[in-house]
Structure 1
Amino acid sequence: MMLLTANCMGLAYIWYRNVRVYKTLDKSLIIPSKYTLQARFQAKENMRSFHFTKYSLALITATLFLEYGFIMCQSLDFLQKYEVYINYFMEFCNSTHPNVVIPTMMVSVPSWKRRFFFHFTCIPGVKTFVLDKKKKGVATVEAEQIPKIETEEYFNQFKMAWG
């Protein structure tokens, strides 16, 4: 448990630092030369991978705690007549770890998330908390702009398209 806590703290620190870089990139019209094109792209891809890691860690930790709860119920003989069903649930918790990866990848990419959750708008909260967070539409780039402003427009379009 201490190892899991240390890993979560390290992930939280790295995520916090990357969020600070990402927020600086959003204000990049004020400081256009602070980060290179490669650093900007890498920061945005890092944010994507951190979202995936955050969702994966949360789901896997939840299934582990569910499994540990079943083990505690079984070892303390709380639900002795449901022992067979508890064993099935524990096996289900063990088998869900690999199966969590694909849906988590779908949720961590904004365009897939919009496409996947579009069918669940009848559920309260899905439309307001999941689908309406990102702007729709892409801005156009005029041909007369200088290269720095074109780079900024490119990343604004990238941000709008990918969330």
Structure 2
Amino acid sequence: MLKAIMEPAIAELLKGFLDADQIRSSEAIMGLDTQLIDDGTYFVIEVDGVPAGCGGWSRRATLYGGDHSASRDAALLDPARDPARVRAMYTHPGFARRGVGRTILGLCERAAAAEGFTRLELMATLAGEPLYRSYGFVEVERTEDARGGVPVPIVRMRKDIYRHGSGVCRHP
């Protein structure tokens, strides 16, 4: 089910931002890290019973990449010092720009805040960057990942979260 969301998301939603070689390279870089599922921090959103999107957050050091990525690091983060990671966000193209990604971000933010995290961090594709900016993430750095064969531009982004009582208040 997750591949049915991820594969078309990569193939279709990156088209306006990357060329064909970069998209192929992205397929080798991106993917699901099943540690998120094992940790219970991964969400699937359905619309009328149809899987529309997926994504999660992590209390572990890996910033991005799937099970096949060599740079994975399962070390636990310290909520007092480290930002939680937003990971493996995908929206099926048929459900793009319908609030699926924003819903997942809200779930991630509330869950991370409940565990004491005060910041979120992620590595954005150029296609995802507008969503994350609109949600309050700010750019930390622009870089490239060439592990898939061709350099793919990506953006490290961060967002502060604040806990007030039992809810989460976003920084304006």
TM category, shorter = under 0.3
Bigger RCO (CA 8 Å, 6+ sep):
2
The higher radius of gyration belongs to 1
> What is the TM-score when the length of structure 2 is the normalising length?
0.25
More strand per residue: 1 or 2?
Answer: 2
